[in-house]
Amino acid sequence: MNKQEEKQLVANRGDTILLFKPNKNAKRIKVYIPYREKEIRKEFKKINSTFYHPQQKLWSIINTQNNWVSIKKLFGQKYKIVEPVVAAELPQITLTRKSLDLLHDVEKRLVLKQYSRATVKIYKRMLTLFFGRFQNQKMEEVTKEQIEGFVYELITKHGIKETYQNQLINAIKAFYEHVLGKPREYYDIERPKKTQSLPGVLSKEEVFKILQHPKNLKHKAILWTIYSAGLRISELVNLRLEDIRSGEGYIFVKGGKGKKDRKTVLSVQLLELLRDYYKKYKPAYWLFEGQTGGKYSVTSIRKIFRRAVKETNSNAWATVHTLRHSFATHCIENNVNMRYLQNMLGHNSPKTTELYTKTIQINNKNIDSPLDSILKNRNLRT
């Protein structure tokens, strides 16, 4: 069940406690507690690891058997269990020699075009399904209507989600464009309507606690660098020593998303921390290196962040990428020029950057209602 479905269910069941049964590998159990259930909510909050997620209007708790039993006992007869929606398995395909050769041609072409290893792997998986569906006819003769019918079948019979659908279309597009040399119109396939979901953002207080949590100097420097410059995790591990341009006051991001170079801000406070870090660890080439040299592990960075989130009781659904979202939101709150922010984040379109204007905090502590200005210094009589 995706977040849109959860919100719809919450909207339709406003007076019932909803207990979302987690999938096998889910880290947390999601819970909806109606506003009127004040006593139950008060007791629920006393359980260790509970957290409220305001954007989803849901509570969550670490997924353990003990927690599952405890909250069911707490809720008594007042709750309803929401079963997870399990999509039907995708069909298993055995490719013919001809289809396997086509798959190899796609891989070769994508590698020559310097697509990332992850993208090549995803496209091969998608095209295995696609080639298997049409391997009894020439791929050059497959029509746009047939392709859209194939995608429609995967949606209706197998329940593929928007992300999967877009990846599949991108893979098909890459095949027709790079291998068969077809014009754009040939693979202009209908895409899913984009959901207008907002990125998760940490408060400034949460960011401060997370950044200060690591006792290890390298771990602290890693988190500080990601947040202070609005970096993606892949951009962080690819930073070289020469990318810290202390004289000019910026960080050079080489080959970011879309293989684009860009500049982003170099925090004065971060620079001081990085100097201390360099004196202690003496990295040779990469800014952050593993114990045996080479780039620092993405998996290790995620572990550092998860530990900091857990032990500071911050937003349990936050990821390392949430630091980037938080950087963008806090820049807007600090009145940073939108054009500067777009360049620092590496966005092609200002519309992508403008999304963060919807994530800023709105409350009476930072915005005055026009009512307050109208009534200010006036004597009111009831």
Active site residues: 232, 257, 321, 324, 347, 356
Q: Which residues, 6+ apart, have CB-to-CB distance to 309 below 8 Å?
A: 210, 315, 316, 318
Q: How many CB atoms lie within 10 A of CB 164?
A: 19
* 149: three-class secondary structure by DSSP: helix
CA pair distance 52, 282, nearest whole angstrom: 42
Q: How many CB atoms lie within 10 A of CB 265?
A: 18
* Residue 358: CA count within 13 A, CB half-sphere: 11
* 206: three-class secondary structure by DSSP: helix
**In sequence order, what are the beta bridge partners of 98?**
none
Name residue 342's amino acid: Q
CA pair distance 27, 60, nearest whole angstrom: 10
User: Checking DSSP bridges between strand 79-82 and strand 17-20, what pairing results, if any?
Assistant: parallel
CA pair distance 104, 350, nearest whole angstrom: 38
